[in-house]
Amino acid sequence: ILNVEQSPQSLHVQEGDSTNFTCSFPSSNFYALHWYRWETAKSPEALFVMTLNGDEKKKGRISATLNTKEGYSYLYIKGSQPEDSATYLCAPYSAGNMLTFGGGTRLMVKP
């Protein structure tokens, strides 16, 4: 089973702050990196699927970058809003392991 680390585990920010968090994973046998957002009392929803080194994806105020050589991805949220409060999960997909989820970063945005 892959070791997937997400940091920080939790984060409190004020509305309007920009924030970022990290997903670290083994770089060998890498196929793709998935990001999911999981709001309380809802089901996780896919944000991004990234495959190429240097890839950058954007969805509204949320963007993500990928470094497959060193095994990390950053998720950025610009101008956080209360509705961004959720747990953000990353999951690398690698040969033989399929998707392996990290423990998540729990973001709380105060109005």
Quote the least distance from Cβ 41 to other proteins, whole Å.
Answer: 8
Instruction: Report the candidate in 75, 81, 70 with the shortest Cα–Cα distance to residue 26.
Output: 70
Centroid of chain to Cα 22: 7
Q: Does 21 bind other proteins (CB under 8 A)?
A: no
Quote the least distance from Cβ 48 to other proteins, whole Å.
Answer: 9
Q: Does 31 bind other proteins (CB under 8 A)?
A: yes
End-to-end CA distance of the chain: give it in Å, rounded: 39
Give the start-end residues of each E strand in 1-111: 5-7, 10-14, 19-24, 30-38, 45-50, 56-59, 62-67, 72-77, 86-94, 98-99, 105-110
Report the relative pairing of strands 19-24 and 5-7 from DSSP bridges. Answer: antiparallel
Q: Which stretch binds other proteins (CB under 8 A): 31-39, 58-66, 68-76, 77-85?
A: 31-39
Q: Within positions 35 to 74, which residues make up the interface with other proteins, using CB under 8 A?
A: 36, 41-46, 49, 51
Number of chain residues interacting with other proteins (CB under 8 A) = 24
Quote the least distance from Cβ 106 to other proteins, whole Å.
Answer: 11
Q: Which tokens belong to 71?
A: 């095994």
Binding site for other proteins (CB under 8 A): 1, 4, 31-32, 34, 36, 41-46, 49, 51, 89, 91, 93, 98-104
